[in-house]
Amino acid sequence: MKTIDIKKILIDKALVIVLLFMIIGIIIIEPSFLQWRVFTDIITQSAVKMICALGLMFPLLIGGTDLAGGRQVGLAAVLIASLSQMADYSNRFWPNLPELPIILPIFIALLAVALIGAVNGFMISKLKMAPFIATFGMSTIVYGINCLYFSKKPNNSQPIGGIREDLRFLSSYKLFGQISLLVVIAIVALVIVWFVLNKTVFGKNIYIVGGNAEAAKVSGVNVNKVIISVFIIESCLVGLAGIMEVARTGGANSSYGNAYEFDAISSCVVGGVSLSGGIGRVSGAAIGVIIFTFISYGLAFIGVNANWQLVIKGIIICSAVALDMRKNA
Amino acid sequence: MEEYRLKMSNISKSFPGVKALDKVQLEVRPGSVHALIGENGAGKSTLMKCLFGLYHQEEGEIALDGKNVDITDPNTALKLGISMIHQELNPIPYRNVVDNIWVGRFVKKGVIVDEEKMKTMTEELLRDLEFDIPLETLAKNLSVSQLQAIEIAKAVSYDAKVIIMDEPTSSLTVAETKHLFKIINRLKSEGRSIIYISHKMEEIFEVADEITIMRDGQYVGKWAIGDITIDEVIRQMVGRDMEERFPPAEDTIQKEVLLKVEDFTSAEEHSFEHISFELHKGEILGIGGLVGAQRTELVEAIFGLRKISSGELTMSGAKIKNQTPQDAIKNKFALLTEERRATGIIPMLSVWDNTLVVAYRKLADNILGVIRKKKIGKKVNDVCKELDVRMAGTDTLIKNLSGGNQQKVLVGRWLLSDCDILILDEPTRGVDVGAKYEIYKIMRDLVRRGKAIIMVSSEMPELLGMSDKILIMCEGKLSGILDKTEANQVEVMKYATMFSNKAKEEVSE
């Protein structure tokens, strides 16, 4: 019996094992990869991706997806950047706007994306649209709105800069001089999402709706409410990622966040979140994000051509999905 | 106390083109089992869905304990004290037993789900009902009868006043059915009302107190169970006399051996092994056995759906191999699967498309595979007429047909493919009495035309009434082949339990 179990574990974790080997390979080629500085770099880079992956995990768990995820990152970024510029910055988006308490721009940005999430949820639950196509349409709409706002006079589609220090310190302030607050936010979000998914009725209902929506309905679960909530939460998380991107880069433009949802979905799948819904753990999504960042950082570190990096990433994603299908066969 | 716990009156409900319910009534007393009977398509399930809030009736009233209620969704129904065991088992595959039972009403401690308490509650519930199922097992790893047990436990745990049981025994063994009846009797003594839907007359007469019969979406009548006989029930259901449950046997068996199966052994462990038999032209070979005897696995292997580690097929003297269903179809085999909804019909397609799934490529016999509707259309119409499929037209979606008519369409699908050997796995499961007889008639007609049929069946009367020869399996082994002249219920059961002590216990219970 024991041998069978090992085989099953190997299939279940095949990808993680292969990726770990790749990391070991990178270390052998370039031993200097093993240094504290590389590690802090990687976890800092992971922070924003982690939030996106946690967000996308919600629709994936109900068997859906959100192709507008990345564009919502972009919208939240542009919104918050335009509302939290320094008063004495020369090129202000709203020239006459006083410096608002920082919580207000954050609130506005999150509210905007939450609304988008609610519409996504409405289309998918009440209008019974396929998540793929509904959110694809939404991604175009969001990008369009973002560009309209971004091209407003006097900004005329110029990158927004001059972000205030009380937002930037999320990235610039280093805990113990090493770890930025972005990482702390990601860890806190990780814990909260884990708690919600594993310990609350709402979380359990997400898995149940993803596993068998019909059964959930006849058991008295308000399936539509679960779906709409899932998309609102996801939007808020990717919105938060947008805010963190602004803190990290000190600016924003309308192309921020483009295709982030694909990275997030890939990380989730590599971490064992099933695209068919109902299966997936927070720890899996987190491991997926970290492995992905390790690999892309590592490949660049040993000087692999950027185009080859794309090819390798694509192979990883396809293998992950193929394994996912096998597991659920 | 009101005379009736539940009173549904003048309920009407239409679907596009169909009046599913026409002023139907149902009156259920407290502390009683009320059987609801009718052919498939008679509207029983629709009526129950109105009661459970899955549909909303256009006309009519529902009163619980004398008070009118408006049931808009399942949640309302559950809150009013109506729970339901659904005909379709609906497990959440990757969740454990506890979650599957308490979905929709998890116990909370603050904002946290109280797993420990739910576990204890489940333990108590299952112990109370004498079900032995490990709590942590994921639903996808449970057997069908365990899933059924969980559905039963779940429905009971709602502490409901009215419990709807829609074919609760369809996947239970004899012993498990007895167990269910014990539970039903206890619920009854606690004053709960049970609405019991089943096609199995014997069961109904064993467990029910009253019976309401429906036909074609209309109310036929209500009887106390002592005031009516099985024959009368069937007559009221079908609306005509049913002299016979099976068409008369004919001597259609020809000398020629059409198929020889030798030493068939599954590639999987704990499945069938060393099965050999012969099938003549014009013969109906029944395959009997208990649940788990690997009958479905055997016929699916013959059809190339499952792998074998050894075994040979000889068809009309020539060796053949069915490694894939495509091979099997080329060799003129046909298979009607056990799970009609899961692996048979394509619900969102029309009768037309469903009939032609197998034969499309053959009938569109030009290089490009262009479908010429006129040419093919006649064949589809002919076969539907021949099998007496009742529908508005071939463009009706198959999901809107009753189970019996769906099954006829599936038979038609294989007739168009020009098969010689028809494998029927539980051909009348979930099919009502009237349509059953028609399917039997079709089977007789097919063997008369020289085709051969292998029929897997768990229904003893069907096995005895239709088979020319009965092959009986027990735990994957061939335990005996009986000729119809020597077959009877006792003999079949003897062979079905031959190798198994566990199975024996079950029968002797």
Domains detected in chain B: 6-91+142-238 (3.40.50.300), 253-332+421-427+465-509 (3.40.50.300)
> The pTM is what?
0.74
Token pair 């979406």 in the structure block, residue? B217
B485 neighbors B478 (Cβ within 8 angstroms)? no
**Residues 6 or more apart in contact with residue A142 via CB below 8 angstroms:** A68, A71, A72, A74, A75, A116
Residues B86 and B198: their CA atoms lie apart, in Å, by 12
Does A61 lie at the interface with B, CB-CB under 8 angstroms?
Answer: no
Residue A237 corresponds to which tokens in the numbers above? 């998380």
B37 neighbors B200 (Cβ within 8 angstroms)? no
Residue of B nearest to A327 (CA): B94
Q: A278, B111: Cβ pair inside 8 Å?
A: no
Is pLDDT larger for residue B491 or for residue B307? Answer: B307
Q: A218, B52: Cβ pair inside 8 Å?
A: yes
Instruction: Give the sign of the dihedral formed by CA B122, CA B123, CA B126, CA B128.
Output: negative
Chain centre to alpha carbon of residue B471:
22
**What CATH class does A10-327 carry?**
mainly alpha
Residues B469 and B112: their CA atoms lie apart, in Å, by 60
Is pLDDT larger for residue B438 or for residue A142? Answer: A142
The total of other beta-carbon atoms located within 10 Å of residue B509's CB is 11
- Helix B403-416 to helix B433-448 angle, to the nearest 10 degrees? 20
At B416 the pLDDT is 85
At B1 the pLDDT is 63
At B504 the pLDDT is 46
3-state per-residue secondary structure call for A125-141: HCCCCCHHHHHHHHHHH
Helical spans, DSSP H, in B334-391:
351-356, 360-363, 373-386
Residue B90 corresponds to which tokens in the numbers above? 């609906």
At B508 the pLDDT is 46
Residues B411 and B336: their CA atoms lie apart, in Å, by 7
Residues B72 and B51: their CA atoms lie apart, in Å, by 9
Residue B96 corresponds to which tokens in the numbers above? 């454990």
Residues A185 and A187: their CA atoms lie apart, in Å, by 5
Of B78, B95, B111, the CB nearest to A220: B78
Mean pLDDT (whole number) for B59-63:
94
Is pLDDT larger for residue B178 or for residue B145? Answer: B178
Q: B95, A216: Cβ pair inside 8 Å?
A: no
| Per-residue model confidence as pLDDT tens digits over A139-153 | 999 999 999 999 998
Residue B274 corresponds to which tokens in the numbers above? 């060393």
At A3 the pLDDT is 53
The C-alpha of A3 sits at a distance from chain B's nearest C-alpha, in angstroms, of: 16
At A113 the pLDDT is 97
Residue A238 corresponds to which tokens in the numbers above? 């990717």
Residue of B nearest to A217 (CA): B74
The total of other beta-carbon atoms located within 10 Å of residue B385's CB is 10
CB pairs under 8 A between A and B: 66
Residues B328 and B325: their CA atoms lie apart, in Å, by 5
Residues B416 and B349: their CA atoms lie apart, in Å, by 18
Contacts of A211 in chain B (CB under 8 A): 92-95
The C-alpha of A308 sits at a distance from chain B's nearest C-alpha, in angstroms, of: 37
pLDDT band of residue B503 (cuts 50, 70, 90) is: very low
Q: B95, A207: Cβ pair inside 8 Å?
A: yes
At A1 the pLDDT is 42
Phi, psi dihedrals of residue B26, rounded to the nearest 5°: -150, 125
Structural domain spans, chain A: 10-327
Helical spans, DSSP H, in chain A:
2-29, 36-61, 69-83, 103-125, 131-150, 165-172, 181-199, 201-211, 213-218, 223-249, 260-270, 282-301, 306-327
Residue A216 corresponds to which tokens in the numbers above? 């959930």
Between the two ends of chain B, the Cα-to-Cα distance in Å is 39
Residue of A nearest to B158 (CA): A219
Percentage of chain B lying above the pLDDT 90 cut: 48
Q: DSSP letter string over B463-504?
A: HHHH-SEEEEEETTEEEEEEETTT--HHHHHHHHTTT-HHHH
Residues B104 and B102: their CA atoms lie apart, in Å, by 6
Low-confidence ranges of chain A (pLDDT < 70): 1-5, 327-329
Percentage of chain B lying above the pLDDT 70 cut: 96
At A108 the pLDDT is 96
Between the two ends of chain A, the Cα-to-Cα distance in Å is 21
Q: Among the listed ranges A62-66, B3-7, B311-315, B343-347, which one has the minimum average pLDDT value?
A: B343-347
Closest by CA to B202, choosing from B239, B164, B154, B245, is B245
Q: B94, A279: Cβ pair inside 8 Å?
A: yes
At B279 the pLDDT is 95
At B244 the pLDDT is 67
B157 neighbors B106 (Cβ within 8 angstroms)? no
* CB crowding B147-181: b at 16 or more within 10 Å, else e: bbbbbbbbbbbbebbbbbbbbbbbbbbeebbebbe
Q: Which of A61, A191, A201, A205 to mutate to test the interface with B (most CBs of B within 10 A)?
A: A201
Chain centre to alpha carbon of residue B105:
30
Contacts of B111 in chain A (CB under 8 A): 199-200
Phi, psi dihedrals of residue B260, rounded to the nearest 5°: -120, 125
pLDDT band of residue B509 (cuts 50, 70, 90) is: very low
Q: B93, A199: Cβ pair inside 8 Å?
A: no
Q: Which of B49, B55, B72, B103 to mutate to test the interface with A (most CBs of A within 10 A)?
A: B103
| Per-residue model confidence as pLDDT tens digits over B339-392 | 877 778 888 888 888 888 887 777 777 777 677 777 788 888 888 888 888 888
Q: DSSP letter string over B263-311?
A: EEEESSTTS-BSEEEEEETT-EEEEE--TTS-HHHHHHHHTTSS-EEEE
The secondary structure of residue B190, as a DSSP letter, is T
Does A1 lie at the interface with B, CB-CB under 8 angstroms?
Answer: no
At A328 the pLDDT is 58
Residue A48 corresponds to which tokens in the numbers above? 């924003």
- Which one-letter amino acid corresponds to residue B226? G
pLDDT band of residue B498 (cuts 50, 70, 90) is: confident
Residues B197 and B217: their CA atoms lie apart, in Å, by 15
Return mean pLDDT, chain B.
87
At B189 the pLDDT is 94
Residue B334 corresponds to which tokens in the numbers above? 């046909």
Chain centre to alpha carbon of residue B372:
36
Task: Say if residue B13's pLDDT is above 50.
Answer: yes
**Residues 6 or more apart in contact with residue B446 via CB below 8 angstroms:** B415, B422, B453
Residues B290 and B304: their CA atoms lie apart, in Å, by 23
ipTM exceeds 0.85: no
Q: A201, B113: Cβ pair inside 8 Å?
A: yes
Residue of B nearest to A221 (CA): B104
The C-alpha of B13 sits at a distance from chain A's nearest C-alpha, in angstroms, of: 20
Residues B15 and B243: their CA atoms lie apart, in Å, by 34
Q: B74, A217: Cβ pair inside 8 Å?
A: yes
